[in-house]
Amino acid sequence: MDGASNPDSDSRLIRGRYRLETVLGLGGMAEVYLAFDQKLDRQVALKRLRPEYARWPEFRARFLDEARLAAQLNHPNIITVYDVVEDGDTVLIVMEYVPGRTLAALLKERSPLPLEEALHYLVQACAGLGYAHRAGLVHGDVKPQNLLIAPGQRLKVTDFGLARVYDQVRRSRSSGVVWGSPPYLSPEHARGEPLVPASDVYSLGVVLYQALTGRFPFEAQTPQEWLTAHREARPTPPRLYNPAIPVRLERVMLQLLAKEPGARLRTADQLGRVLLDFTQRTDTRAITMPARATAPRLEHGSPARQALLLTPTTGPEPLPPEPPWYAGWDWRTWALALLALLAVAGLIPLWLWVYYLYFPPVP
């Protein structure tokens, strides 16, 4: 394939159509380039699978299947996959190019984010992931690096299926290796179990926690410590780091970090509805977030951090009860609705009288 092995050479054309322009990013599994589609006269992002994975037949086959499924997703909060190119030992995914930066870059620049801004991004991530969940796809590697912020504060989810495919292949080979980003892995992922939509919800919970506190729910240094923390440790209540987080939202955040998938919200759609409901009931602009997290960091090897890792997962401290089911009702609207119902019900005897007046029963 011309130019695939040496993108800095003069011959940068791939399949006589895609001209490589510059490197956008280098990852453990793939390289991403900015390219120009000469056939459709547009810029695209081109992801090339590293040769060691492209030559792995089982991984390659599953990866191509997953990429083709991702190409069927059409949602404003998901990066569009245009094409899948297979040429010899090279596998390429041609995707929509989105100028902007990742949520990870934004969090590195300033965190915690204002509550309104953080929820604005998370709701969009839920919309994209929820659409994928309805299509039967689990992302498997939700993290700020895979959440792109386009101009106009539009968030788009990218990299569907990479970690999930590797996880499936890894389980089939029983290698004992867990693939993914350790700070964002769900407990079932850390246990080597199959991934489900609630696995993505857990990772979204970690992202929301990080966006609002500038910290992670657990303190760990090595991948093994992260796996242990996700499986066994109790998350630090986020209000300990950021007291400006509303209690009701903290309750949701801790639910997202439940160890068992059934104890969380099941899909990203459900989480999105909960966050939207919260924003509608709360003036998020009136909540001022601190410049940085105020609680001291639990240093590696400290007794406090070790105690947190070994704390049984019996759940967080009790929180104030939820407001009653009728809280927030517009009583005037309900009173008018009740009067209307009574008025309609009161007409029933009149209707019966008219009916029997004109259609008397036959003796």
Active site residues: 141
The token pair at 320 is: 């104030």
- Identity of the residue numbered 80: T
Judged by DSSP in three states, 247 sits in helix
For 199-233, b where at least 16 C-beta lie within 10 A, e where not — what string?
bbbbbbbbbbbbbbbbbbbbbbeeeebbbbbbbbb
Beta strand pairing call for 18-26 and 13-14 = antiparallel
Cis status, amide bond into 112, omega within 30 of 0: yes
**In whole angstroms, how large is the CA radius of gyration of the chain?**
26
Burial of 327 (0-12, 13-18, 19+ CB in 10 A): exposed
Judged by DSSP in three states, 280 sits in helix
Query: What is the H or E stretch that residue 71 is in?
Result: helix 57-71
For 136-165, b where at least 16 C-beta lie within 10 A, e where not — what string?
ebbbbbbbbbbbbbbeeeebbbbbbbbbbb
Q: Which distant-in-sequence residues (6+ apart) come within 8 Å of 254 by Cβ?
A: 235, 237, 238, 315, 316
Q: In 10 A of CB 44, how many CB atoms?
A: 21
